[in-house]
């Protein structure tokens, strides 16, 4: 469910609620009781559409809250002072990984170990 569909879902829910009220008025005008009105298939379908729209809106609200939390966390991280790493001089580092690898390779070639 994507956030850009929110207005369409709201519109669909609103029209379903209008259809429900019109259908209920029409059935009451025919003289049906509340129990018979609730059993009407059209009423049940319209109510299902309303429930479906409510669930979709809840999912969208959840996504919006997650996006808001992420945005707040991103801003906090952006505004936090950067940790300064201690600078290590080359002499203190010792032998570089690349140099050690090269020496190991040369020692392997020197010993006659062709791979």
Q: List b or e across 24-37, with b for residues whose CB sees 16 or more CB atoms inside 10 angstroms.
A: beebeeeeeeeeee
- Provide the pLDDT for residue 101: 83
Q: Which residues, given as ranges, of the chain have pLDDT below 70?
A: 1, 88-95, 111-115
- Provide the pLDDT for residue 93: 62
Residue 63 belongs to a domain:
yes
- Provide the pLDDT for residue 113: 52
- Provide the pLDDT for residue 71: 96
Tell me the residue range of the domain where 30 lies: 3-80
Residue 99 belongs to a domain:
no
Number of domains, the chain: 1
- Provide the pLDDT for residue 20: 97
């Amino acid at each position: 469910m994507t956030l850009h569909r929110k207005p369409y879902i709201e519109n669909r829910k609103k029209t379903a609620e209008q259809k429900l009220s019109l259908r209920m008025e029409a059935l009451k005008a025919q003289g049906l009781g509340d129990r018979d009105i609730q059993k009407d298939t059209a009423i049940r379908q319209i109510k299902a559409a309303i429930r479906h729209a409510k669930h979709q809106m809840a999912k969208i609200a959840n996504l919006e809250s997650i996006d808001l939390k992420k945005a707040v966390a991103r801003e906090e991280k952006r505004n936090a002072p950067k940790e300064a790493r201690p600078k290590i001089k080359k002499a203190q580092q010792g032998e570089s990984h690349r140099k050690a690898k090269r020496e190991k390779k040369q020692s392997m070639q020197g010993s006659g170990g062709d791979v």
